Every structure is written in C-alpha cells, then in structure tokens.
Amino acid sequence: MNGPVGVGVIGCGNISDEYLTSLSTYPDVTVIGLADLDLSRARAQADKYGVAFAGSTADLLDQSAVELVINLTIPEAHAEVAIASVDAGKHVWGEKPITVDRVSARRLLDTAERNGVVIGCAPDTILGDGIQTSHRLMTAGRIGDAQTLLTLMQSSGPDSWHPRPAFLFARGAGPLFDIGPYYFATMAQLLGPIESVHAAGHRAREVRSVGSGPLAGTEFPVEVYTHVSALIRFASGVVGTSIFSFDSPVRRQTFEITGSKGTMAVPVSGFNGATEILDAAGDDEMWEPIPAQGEPRARGVGVLEMARAIRAGQEPRASGRLAYHVLDAMLAIEESIETDAPVAVQSRFEQSPALPDGWDPRAHTLAAHRTRG
C-alpha cells in the first residue's frame, strides 16, 4: 500500500489535543476518525480539527481507511483497546505504558505478530531533536564510554493542576508509570537494556484532592507509591541512580550520563532543548550547550515515524518491544520495593540507531503525496 497512512484516535481527552495538533502538520498521515466512550466529546474534537468521522470504538475499527489506531485511553484500558484494534487488523500506537502488566503486554505483542500488524508506543520524546542530538553525540563518542547515570524527576504532583488527576494516582500510573517511561525509554535508547534493579518506595498520603477545575476539592484515593528510588544496572555494565517523586515541592528534571571523557545532560523533559556537555577536565561552570539539531518535533512524531516504518516494512524505533522492556523494568522496580531485594529484568530488545540527519517530519515522503503535485 502506498500514500499517507490513515489513522484513527481512540480516547479524546486532554492529550488528544496535542496529538491532533501535530498530526495535522504531518503530510504522511491522515486522521480518518475519532472515538470516545463519550460520543459528544469525540464529535467536539472532530469538529475542532476538521475530522470527518466521530463515533464509538467499534465503529472506528470498522473504518477500512483506518490502518493505524492511536490508543489514548487511560492505562487500565490500554490492553483491551489495543488488542481489539489488533484483532481488527489495525496497527497500534499506544500512550505509555504499553499496558499495566506483563501478561497483557505479552499477549498484545504476540497477537500483533500473529495478525501481521505492528505495535508502537509512547513516549516519542526519544525521537525529538533534543534526545536524538544526544544520541548522535553518544554514538560519536563525545563523552567516551558510558559509566554511570543519574536521573531525578521531582514535583508536588499533577493533582495541583490537572482537572481530573485521580487516574494518575491509580494502578498503572503514579510517578513511576506515568513519568518513568520518559526516563526509561531514554535510558534504553542511549544505554541499552536494563539487567536488574533494586528499589524503595514511599507513599506520603493515602488520599489527595483535585486542585483545579470543576472538581476542585474532590478527594480520591492514592493507590501507588508517590516516591520511588531505584538503583539500576544495565547489561552493558553502566550503573544508575533514579528518583521519581510526586511528593517534593522542589521541581527537578535531570538526566545525566557520565562517561570516560565527560558528562552529558540530556534534555529528557521534552522534544527539543539543548544537550549539555561537561568535559572531564572542566569545572562545573564550563558546561557546553549544544543546540538540538533537526526540525522541531512534537507529540505524535512517533506515530509519523511508525507510519513511515510500516510503509517501508520496518520496525518503528519507539517499538512495542522497547515499550515492553520499559514496562518490565518498571514492574521489576515495583516488585523490588515489595520484596526489598534486587529483581532481574528478563526482557531484551535491539537498540535502534539515531534518526538520520535531515529527517523531516513535515516532508512528503510517501508515494501518493508525490503524485498529487
């Protein structure tokens, strides 16, 4: 099949705006339709973005023009929606995490393989020009051989600003599963598979309340650890220390790799941003900022890269296998907290090379575009 890849979006909540805004600028994909449990919300988003179809999940999956489903449902629904899409013969791009347990994630990947379709998964920040620039610098040996890793993600939590934050404190979320994938996918992209973890966790409060919007003041239960500390060992021998916290008034987003020739600060918090290098011989005031190289990218670029990979018969860089490894590592951290013991991470994946220089998300690369003139 040639031409732009037809996509359908299931789940029209807050994050759908970010996807639909960027997808409308990528000529190699076409948004065919939207679906949501709340049909009025699907219709409103369709009207807002000029999408012709809005309806139920079943109706969307019946659309033959939809080749790739973007699954933006809550984590607990990821597996059910993704497997239904795969059973309908659709490729699936999912929001993170891929699912909330290994059994359903493995079932999804196995079903996709049997049906000849492809799974991709957020976060696609690893395809942003910021992290891709870091990737190229790592490959070029800018900091020598990687040795250690430090990551910090600290905030007071999304309940202070999100209008409906309860799901972010439910099973499959919290700082580890909601924010952790950004860090673990970047770790995997730059440092390869994780071999084992040893972790501790803490829950500051059993109940939180909504801080903004029409539900402000409404209380909800906290089902997850809201502070997680982890020691991480990679198959390469690199060792790391990571903190993920929704319990801190101090806001930090740090991702530093130290190698034999220096330290690299990776812009893990978004798609763009400069990489910073501190040479081993320098002092702490001599960080060298290296601007991101490439066309600016935003949420949805992973869908685009996946669409192009599908047309080329290749595996996407933000693949289901990578997402499974990220889930496996996070579940191992959860298990380590419960057992107070190291836990091995069994899964493996193949690291992808950095995107080539000149990779342009807004280019017309698929045949039907070129024939339109």
Residue 169: CATH number of its domain: 3.30.360.10
Q: What is the mean pLDDT of residues 71-85?
A: 96
From the list 100, 142, 133, the residue with the least C-alpha distance to 268 is 133
Look over the chain and give the mean of its residue pLDDT values, rounded to a whole number: 95
The verdict on 102 and 175 lying in the same domain is no
Are residues 41 and 47 in contact, defined by beta-carbon separation less than 8 angstroms? no
The verdict on 145 and 108 lying in the same domain is no
The verdict on 46 and 153 lying in the same domain is no
d(CA 303, CA 370): 20
- Residue 169 bridge partners (DSSP): none
Does the structure show a pLDDT above 50 at 303?
A: yes
The verdict on 109 and 211 lying in the same domain is no
The verdict on 118 and 143 lying in the same domain is no
Which stretches does DSSP call E strand in the chain? 5-10, 29-35, 53-55, 68-71, 91-94, 119-121, 146-154, 194-202, 207-209, 219-221, 227-234, 239-245, 252-259, 262-265, 275-279, 288-290, 343-344
Are residues 85 and 61 in contact, defined by beta-carbon separation less than 8 angstroms? yes
Output the pTM of the full model: 0.93
Q: Give the DSSP H/E element, type plus range, for residue 15.
A: helix 14-23
Note the pLDDT tens digit of each residue in 10-52.
Answer: 999 989 999 999 999 999 999 999 999 999 999 999 999 999 9
The verdict on 106 and 144 lying in the same domain is no
Note the pLDDT tens digit of each residue in 220-240.
Answer: 999 999 999 999 999 999 999
Note the pLDDT tens digit of each residue in 156-173.
Answer: 999 999 999 999 999 878
Does the structure show a pLDDT above 50 at 372?
A: no
Residues 6+ apart with CB under 8 A from 95: 11, 15, 71, 72, 73, 78, 121, 122
Decide which of 290, 309, 336 is a domain's last residue.
290
The verdict on 256 and 312 lying in the same domain is no
Q: What is the mean pLDDT of residues 131-159?
A: 97
Cα dihedral sign, 187-191-194-196:
negative
DSSP state of 157: -
Residue 206, domain extent:
126-290
> In 10 A of CB 84, how many CB atoms?
17
d(CA 116, CA 109): 10
The verdict on 110 and 147 lying in the same domain is no
Q: What is the mean pLDDT of residues 272-276?
A: 96
Note the pLDDT tens digit of each residue in 313-336.
Answer: 999 999 999 999 999 999 999 999
Q: Tell me which of 369 and 301 has the higher pLDDT.
A: 301
Q: What is the mean pLDDT of residues 201-230?
A: 96
DSSP state of 179: I
The verdict on 193 and 244 lying in the same domain is yes
Are residues 189 and 316 in contact, defined by beta-carbon separation less than 8 angstroms? no
